[in-house]
Amino acid sequence: MRLLLLGDIVGRAAREAVVAAVPGLRRSLGLDFVVANGENAAHGFGITDTICAELYAGGVDVITTGNHIWDQRAIMAYIATDPRLLRPINFPAGTPGNGSGVYALPDGRRIMVANAMARLFMETLDDPFAAIDRLLGEHRLGPLAAILLDFHGEASSEKTAMAHFCDGRVSAVVGTHCHIPTADYRVLTKGTAYITDLGMCGDYDSVIGMKKEAAIARFIKKVPGERLEVSLGDPTLCGVVVETDDATGLARAIWPLRVGGKLDPVMPPASAKISAPAS
């Protein structure tokens, strides 16, 4: 099975680039399932029901989020109605929405996607390790064809610890939030694919997706400044493609993906079932 996981989508131009690119990527790479982090999709702050519909129509199967999930207040009522929009599982009990979901592919295989938020240098939430451990006590590879975890956090140490904590129990752990793609993509010793941060889908001629001038001013001037605005340049789509073993659900390979914009392009190899010559 082939799975595409895209980093934080920042603003309208990045949304449009994702919607334009995903259908072709599904065909050329033989993708079975696509997950994207959408917590910055609405002008850089949160997500809306309309944006969710746009991304689903463009070929995204599940949308994960993080600390910006509540920036658009209307999402609090909507999220309970949309099982494909996830918020971190370690929000306190009673928080609207779900932190995980199980989704059926057309061929009957089932995939679980989970979303958790780290705590170092982030908001104080419930223990993400305990929350994920409980979830994996109820769901496992075998009955599920794949299990994917988006771990949204600031500290590379906490993300790496979560990956090793989950190694052998999930197909992939991918970090989000930092908006910069890391180079440590690999399959861990027990078979879980991992990358510390997927990077963002956004304009890299910016400060993590925001216009440079206002962002720089916040570091130079210790007084309130203008509101941050999304940079409108040509976006780069950043993420990874994970290939899993159909028998175990564990990862066979992980490749980076970068399309368009300012960063050097990287494209995973085509799937054998796509590239093999017709008999």
DSSP run (H or E) holding 4: strand 2-6
Exactly one of 68, 152, 177, 179 is catalytic; which is it?
A: 68
Distance CA 162, CA 173 (A): 8
Note if 43 is an active site residue. Answer: no
- How far from each other are the two terminal CA atoms of the chain, in whole angstroms? 22
Q: What is the SS3 assignment for 106? A: coil
Task: Residue 124: count other Cβ atoms within 10 Å of its Cβ.
Answer: 5
Q: How far apart are CA 38 and CA 45, in angstroms?
A: 9
Q: Classify 191 as helix, strand or coil.
A: coil
Which strand (E) or helix (H) includes residue 98?
Answer: none
Residue with tokens 């992939």: 172
- Nearest Cα to 35, choosing from 95, 114, 142, 109? 114
Catalytic residues: 68
